[in-house]
Amino acid sequence: MALFPKKYISPDLLQRVSPITQTIVVLAFAGISMLILAQTSQNPEMEWMITCSALGFFVWQNILLFFLRKTQWLRYTLQSFALFLVLSVCLLTLASQISTTSIANLREYRVLLLTTFVFYILGTMVATLMKYIALMLGIND
């Protein structure tokens, strides 16, 4: 039995999704959300909430797709970390330009950003370890 039946998600599609695609999609959705909610929301922290949520989403999808990837692990990981930093800088810059509240005044969001980065590193390490164990046991299919 295949891990992903053809009627749901193609394994070939998972191999073709790159960190660049993930970054562009997350940046586009987060940017559009920030621009729309900056005009409609009364919450002065909304841009920072979107930034943290978008980075968290990127981390989760990136680790999951890394784990399901069968080839080019190192290249995928290096691109992912570099693009995570680019995405972080872009979203933080956009949020600071749109928001009326500075990140310096929002301790909980600074902590959340730090924990997201730490989780990304640890999650990637755990996924790598699991991939190597599966490879050693011969269950990498």
Cβ contact 44:100 at 8 Å: yes
More confident residue, 13 or 92: 92
In the block, residue with structure tokens 């929301």: 41
pLDDT tens track for 16-69: 778 999 999 999 999 999 999 988 988 888 999 999 999 999 999 999 888 887
The whole-number pLDDT of residue 78 equals 92
Q: How far apart are CA 89 and CA 32, in angstroms?
A: 16
Residue 28's Cα: distance from chain center in Å? Answer: 13
For the ranges 28-32, 103-107, 137-141, the maximum mean pLDDT occurs at 28-32
pLDDT tens-digit map of 119-137: 999 999 998 898 888 888 8
